[in-house]
Structure 1
Amino acid sequence: MEDLKRNPHLVKTVNFEPFLDGSNKQAVADALLSSFKNEGFVYLVNHGLPQEKIDTMFEMSKAFFEMPHAKKMQAPHPASGAHHRGYSAPGSEKIIRYDDNEKESDPTIGRGGARETFDVGSENDEGMPNIWLPEETLPGFKRTCVEFFSDCFEVEKNVLRALAVGFRLPEDYFVRMHTKPDNQLRLAHYPSVATKPLLNDEISRIDAHSDFGSITLLFQDDVGGLEVQDLVSGVFEPVLPVPGSILINAGDFLMRWSNDTIQSTKHRVQAPPSIKTDITPDRYSIPYFCCPDFDTVVDCIPGTWSVENPKKYEPQSVGAYILARLAAAY
């Protein structure tokens, strides 16, 4: 289709408007599924989320991270990784490589990376309540986060509808298992850092990893540094920011749900490819991690397995899988 264009840095760009307005749903759905099968990533433009809302969330994120450490610690992330809410200082989180086929994590991988984060979930999640700053510390912060969380949930549902159409399934196939939402909005700040040790892999902004939910929506500034592994060569290639887009990738749970039809691709954050200064500037990003409802047990998607290509995975409880992965990260 004309709206599918490969950029020179691996990831395709798909215009989502024909799906949203109903003018060419199948073509958009096929392009989306093709990207998830072959690269695991796709840039979505005309996705329906107004740019001014994205800009406001970035402005509030920057205001939060510019506060003194003591103020940020008014909403601290608990010591337990299973309660993934609130502020985490640089180095708090480990990046664990996990292989569903091997059923275990790699204990040799654990660098947290030079970044700080703030995690937000659904306000209706009684099992994992949000941890907020006092309103007077940063007025409007909670409201902005809650509204953006809701906006991202609407984008998520539209992407999942398109994915179902790509699989020739009922349009609500995935949406009806993503209703809670058991999702996580993360504000991330990578402080400025010396470029040389970053280039020499002596330090990392974030090590190579895959996400572990169904899909992730990533909003990023224009600094760059994100790299995605080419599934053919194994080489990590720079993925430059595309203005006005959301970068979407498939997670480990969607890969196993699809019987490995879809790829959950490793990615990392290094120095921007065009950096020519001794100091790599601050980078801000906002990922929205999407998970099926925790009380759901899922089996391989119809059409992804057969006698010749049997199921690789047993039915899996979503909550047990995700909480185990979260606990391993802290």
Structure 2
Amino acid sequence: MGEVDTAFIQAIEHRPKLAIIEAEGIPLIDLSVLNSPDSSNPSVISHLAAEIGDACKNWGFFQVINHGVPSERRQKVELAMRKFFAQSTEEKRKVKRDEMNPMGYYDTEHTKNVRDWKEVFDLAVQVPTLMPVSQDPNDKELMDYINRWPEYPPELREACEEYAEEVEKLCFKLLELISLSLGLAAKRLHGLFKEQTSFIRLNHYPACPIPQLALGVGRHKDAGALTVLAQDNVGGLQVKRKTDGEWIRIKPTPNAYIINIGDIMQVWSNDKYESVEHRVMVNSEKERFSIPFFFNPAHYVMVEPIEELTNEQNPAKYKAYNWGKFSATRKQSNFKKLNVENIQAHHFKIAEEACEEYAEEVKKLCFKLLELTSLSLGLAAKRLNGLFKEQTSFIRLNHYPACPIPQLALGVGRHKDGGALTVFAQDNVGGLQVKRKTDAEWIRIKPTPNAYIINIGDIMQVWSNEKYECGAQGDGELREGKVFHSIFLQPSSLCYGRAH
């Protein structure tokens, strides 16, 4: 990993800021009551469950101390993993994982289609761990994840197995407290982990010469139920704060564990608890080690909102999905760069909920753009905001089927948008054309992944007294074999304002 490959370089908007914002107010929860005579006191346990519930709701993660995991078990793993990663790449790759068995060593993993600055060693917690062979819903074949243990260090296997046993106990304790915090019976979710697919990852983040360009792990949310993370004293974990979207660093707390709510728990709670986006910064001088325990249910579990947590006033916000098939699909991006976003839990959002959440986020973007446009005109940033107090904005979902006469028809004919601004998302098929001012030629806007196209509308042209001009546009031809497509029921094209 000494050479800097461009595969490690994050897009500009996702590169880390080296000026660190330390997190303040992160919940630090003392679990000592679970190992005391008060553990049978319902009111004490209820108070602890409420504390964890508040952390899940407001932060999506928290730290725990006095958790019952013997420190010597963790120390044995930390020492053994350092010995393993200190070996040559050739030695480590003797236990390299592959597409048929994802347990073992790996050093070219991607997150959001960008390579991570790390090397890992994965091991299944339960033996056997059964998972689907493929993501094909009609393929019922299962595979057994086999742990690949290296010859050196010989103590790694025993250290990991003993550690896994203790952290698994902690996971079930946390699962019970979270269940209670949701108003469920303590063991309501236990049966879903009878044939769990949990695994432990040993992470090594070497010192990186380009910490301002690369990440140890790119931004992501954990797909499982819970993650129990042990990090060393170097630190580097950052979480995206809900209140303002800032990336904040989680300062290491000696002998503590960081607990993340995963996507499965978000779905089970019907969005009462939210999975938090996080990433890992790298250090130019120090290597870093961490040990996440990913607590995941059985492969056959259908993930959906818990029945007791839904009703007429709070209907289910997600369609059910199979955990094993979901996980098999996710693992595709571990071995190759994909041209699209990998499958996510939010792809199973019921349409009404998904549209409302999307509208809320795009509305924020619109006001940011409105303020910047106002400033560019020499106005106060919020000069135009009041005109949108009772806005009449709307979203349109467009589908353009393949057309047998693309030389004669258009998806949308030439027009100008009548509103103030249009924020437009197109899929990778494309088709949007604009009329270039300089020579009146129709030019195609090539799709840019994860980008939005912003149109100035007629209203903005009038407000600016024609300093800014609304451009003519239309959706061009769709040749045979090219279609707008939905990925996991997401619409092909979404507009905030006028259609395209």
What TM-score results when the alignment is normalised by the length of structure 1? 0.85
Q: Is the 1:296–1:317 Cα contact (8 Å) retained in structure 2?
A: yes
Residues 289-317 of structure 1: per-residue CA shift (max 9 Å, x gap): 11111122243124533323221112222
Listed one character per residue, the Cα deviations across residues 183-240 of structure 1 (whole Å, up to 9, x for unaligned) are: 010000000122xx31x3x122211111100000000000011111001101111110
Q: What is the deviation of 1:20?
A: 4.2
Q: CA RMSD in A?
A: 1.8
Assess if the C-alpha contact under 8 Å between 2:238 and 2:247 holds in 1: yes
CA distance in 1, matches of 2:180, 2:129: 30
- Tell me which amino acid in the other structure corresponds to 2:128: N
Inter-partner Cα distance in structure 2 for 1:259 and 1:313: 7
- In the TM superposition, residue 40 of structure 1 has moved relative to its aligned partner by 0.7
Matched, 1:236 2:250: no
Match runs of 1:251-262 below 5 Å: 251-262=262-273
From the superposition, tell whether residues 298 and 267 of structure 1 become closer, same or farther in structure 2 (CA, over 3 Å): closer
Counterpart of 2:153 (choices 131, 138, 144) is 138
Match of 2:238 in 1: 227
**In structure 2, what is the equivalent of residue 316 of structure 1?**
321
- Which residue of 1 is the match for residue 204 of structure 2? 189
In structure 2, what is the equivalent of residue 58 of structure 1? 78
**Cα distance in 2, alignment partners of residues 14 and 146 from structure 1:** 26
Q: Is the 8 A contact 1:75 1:131 kept in 2?
A: no
The 2-side partners of 1:13 and 1:64 are apart by 32
Q: Which position in structure 2 is the counterpart of 1:119?
A: 122
1:128 CA drift (Å): 3.3
Aligned length: 296
- Cα-to-partner distance string for 1:145-184 (whole Å, 9 max, x where unaligned): 2222222211111110111111121111112211223101
Cα–Cα, structure 1 residues 260 and 294, in superposed 2: closer, same or farther, change >3 Å? same
Who is 2:27 aligned against?
12
Contact conserved, 2:205 with 2:282, CA < 8 A, in 1? no
Q: Any residues of structure 2 matched to 1:96-175 within 5 Å, and which?
A: 96=112, 110-121=113-124, 122-125=126-129, 127-135=143-151, 137-175=152-190
Aligned match for 2:274, one of 259, 263, 266: 263
Counterpart CA distance in 2 for 1:318 and 1:170 is 23
Identify unmatched segments of 5+ residues in structure 1. Answer: 1-6, 97-109, 273-278
2:369 is aligned to: none
Residue of structure 2 equivalent to 1:208: 219
Matched to 1:38, the amino acid is N
- C-alpha separation in 2, matches of 1:250 and 1:51: 23
TM-score scaled by structure 2? 0.57
- Measured in 1, the distance between the counterparts of 2:242 and 2:150 equals 45
Cα shift at 1:31:
1.0
Aligned residue for 2:145, secondary structure, equals coil
Contact 1:75 1:86 in 2 (8 A): yes
1:43 to partner: Cα distance:
0.1
Which has the higher relative contact order, 1 or 2, with Cα contacts under 8 A spaced 6 or more apart? 1
Partner of 1:281: 286
Query: Is the CA contact (8 Å cut-off) linking 1:45 and 1:246 kept in structure 2?
Result: yes
Moved more, 315-324 or 211-220: 315-324
Residue in 1 aligned with 2:69? 49
- Judging changes above 3 Å, is the alpha-carbon distance between structure 1 residues 258 and 175 closer, same or farther for their aligned structure 2 residues? same
Q: CA deviation at 1:271?
A: 4.6
CA distance in 1, matches of 2:310, 2:181: 16
- The sequence identity of aligned pairs, in percent, is 24
Offset of residue 125 of structure 1: 2.0
The answer to whether structure 1 residue 307 and structure 2 residue 325 are counterparts is: no
Structure 2 distance, partners of 1:20, 1:162, is 14
1:249 maps to which of 260, 275, 288: 260
Q: Which has the larger radius of gyration?
A: 2
CA distance in 1, matches of 2:28, 2:45: 16
With over 3 angstroms needed to count, the CA separation of the structure-2 counterparts of 1:134 and 1:204, relative to structure 1, is closer
2:107 is the counterpart of 1:86: no
Contact 2:102 2:145 in 1 (8 A): no
Displacement, 1:33? 1.5
Q: Which runs of 5+ in 2 are unaligned?
A: 1-21, 131-142, 336-500
Displacement of 1:93: 1.2
Contact 2:204 2:289 in 1 (8 A): yes
* 1:319, distance to aligned residue in structure 2 (A): 1.3
